[in-house]
Structure 1
Amino acid sequence: MTAVQGTTVDIPTDDGTADAYLSHPGDGGPHPAVLLYMDAFGLRPRLKAMADRLAEGGYTVLVPNVFYRHGRAPVVELPEFIDVSSRPAVFERLGPIMQDLTPDRAMADAGAYLRWLADSPAAADGPVALTGYCMGAGLALRTAGTYPERVAAAAGFHGGRLASDSPDSPHLVAEHITAELYFGHADEDPSLPPEQIQRLEDALTAAGVRHRCEVYAGAHHGFTQADTSAYHREGDERHWAALLDLLKRTF
């Protein structure tokens, strides 16, 4: 297992400075870069541990606090374990913050994250891979379509509203995507009902995007997050296998 180094870094953006967690192998050399998009609960120990696990596999991983406009992480105070009883109060605070991150702002920020990685000595030259969780899956999809020349692969897990009927739904960027995509959907996820799963599949197929979409039976929205009651160990292990396989094919 490769020893990793994890540090907090600051990334200049059009609207200020985004704090982020950077994890990479400790050998001092450049490695293929992965941009990891957080879920709504934000940059916290669980996501840092996930970044470290990817770094152990030989990747340089950047996890930006996409809510930086509202403060450095943690933007919202969280319990150590997020259960059903604590979720309503947390989302009452997160709701306005999430709405404030418009697609235009998110994609301007994505450009800043990608430029930072391109300039980082810890990141190898060339395109990067993306992985995103919950709301981060939508950000990954949108980034792949907005910066196709910079994204070689993108994955999303238990994403919500990926193919809604909104005029700015993430799936509408499909025609611009050149990356290979993988999505692991949660079974019976109210934020991604069967009709949206099919709409996403149809859009990617029509656009000729190399992709694979799978529904994880028995897994709930948020199934990769071990610090929440939504965690599903089998789904999480399946997610790691699929993600690492995608990265191996990409790099």
Structure 2
Amino acid sequence: MCDEKTELDIQQNLNESTLNRRDFNKLLALGGLALSFPQFAISSDNVQSKDVIVNTPSGNADAYFVHPHKGKHPAILMWPDIKGLRPAFKQMARRLASSGYAVLVVNPFYRDVTGLALPEEISFPSKKAWDILRGYRKRLTTNAVTEDAKAFFAFLDKQPNVNTNVGAAAMGYCMSGAFVMRAAAEMPDRLKAIASFHGGGLATDTQDSPHHTVVRSKAAALHAIAENDDAKAPEMKKLLKMAYNQAQLEAEIEVYEDTLHGWCPPDSRAYNEKQADRAWDRALELFNKHLV
């Protein structure tokens, strides 16, 4: 789970060549993304995208919808990490869409803020940033998350670019790793695959732990765990494996070597390109298999 302790781990192991959020945004604005991260430099010739508003019972959620130019495609909901919707996740959504999916990446904090969760002038990590983000996060109760998931898929399923005759998927990072598990339990007939990356609190000793929802799910799963997260909560992977085995669901649960919490988004200080690409490929294999 992303907190001050995980950020301290990152600081202690920081690779000076790693981009931070501001550097990534500058690179994107200057058109230099293709040189540094060619896997994220997706041409507009390949996909079509737009900023959208999704109506939910709690208000209007801003989001980014991207899909191939032609045809109908399986729907995938992408929830970002605790730093919210930002350019890096829009590029990740474009990358996913270029593989043949209709992708909605959402602002999880729309109840409190539109657009960036943190203004550019507020550095992350910092006490001010954590105070803001924790306030937003507290409102994302289990009921709020499942309410949002239903609204997001209701939006997706109305789009002419979405194939509703096949299964859908959800992807979650950091705090939203738990969201995809709860969504799968809430919509078992719609969600056929889920993927979480450095997800926190997926299996705990509490009654409302996400792993207790697996019994109500029909989704195959990928849970890509950061090495330092596993060191702090080694029982999580065991509880996850037990839950999926009991539910007789396919699940790939792996601790990725030499990774720190936050290792998948390219604007993270913990970004591990090699392992992030490997986890991405595993997710694509999962989606290609089950969203048919």
Gapped regions of structure 1 (runs ≥ 5): none
1:185-213 Cα distance to aligned partner (Å, 9 max, x none): 11121696111221111111112121110
1:183 aligns with 2:223: yes
- Larger relative CO (CA 8 A, sep 6+): 1 or 2? 2
- 1:1-251 alignment, distance < 5 Å: 3-27=46-70, 29-78=71-120, 82=124, 86-126=125-165, 127-189=167-229, 193-251=233-291
Cα offset, 1:37, TM superposition? 1.1
Cα distance in 1 for residues equivalent to 2:205 and 2:240: 11
Cα offset, 1:87, TM superposition? 4.5
Cα offset, 1:12, TM superposition? 0.7
Cα offset, 1:75, TM superposition? 2.6
Cα distance in 2 for residues equivalent to 1:91 and 1:228: 16
Cα distance in 1 for residues equivalent to 2:83 and 2:108: 11
- Please give the secondary structure, in 2, of the residue aligned with 1:68: coil
TM-score norm. by structure 1 comes to 0.93
Q: Percent identity?
A: 35
Cα offset, 1:92, TM superposition? 2.1
Gapped regions of structure 2 (runs ≥ 5): 1-41
8 A contact 1:189–1:221 mirrored in 2: yes
Number of equivalent positions: 247
8 A contact 2:122–2:129 mirrored in 1: no
- What do you get for the CA RMSD once the two structures are aligned? 1.8
CA 1:60 to 1:178, structure 2 compared with 1: closer, same or farther past 3 Å? same
Larger Cα-atom Rg: 2
Quick check: 195-204 or 50-59, which moved more? 195-204
Cα offset, 1:78, TM superposition? 4.3
Cα distance in 2 for residues equivalent to 1:228 and 1:45: 12
TM-score norm. by structure 2 comes to 0.80
Cα distance in 1 for residues equivalent to 2:186 and 2:286: 20
Letter in 2 for 1:214: E
CA 1:30 to 1:213, structure 2 compared with 1: closer, same or farther past 3 Å? same
Cα distance in 1 for residues equivalent to 2:253 and 2:112: 33
CA 1:139 to 1:42, structure 2 compared with 1: closer, same or farther past 3 Å? same
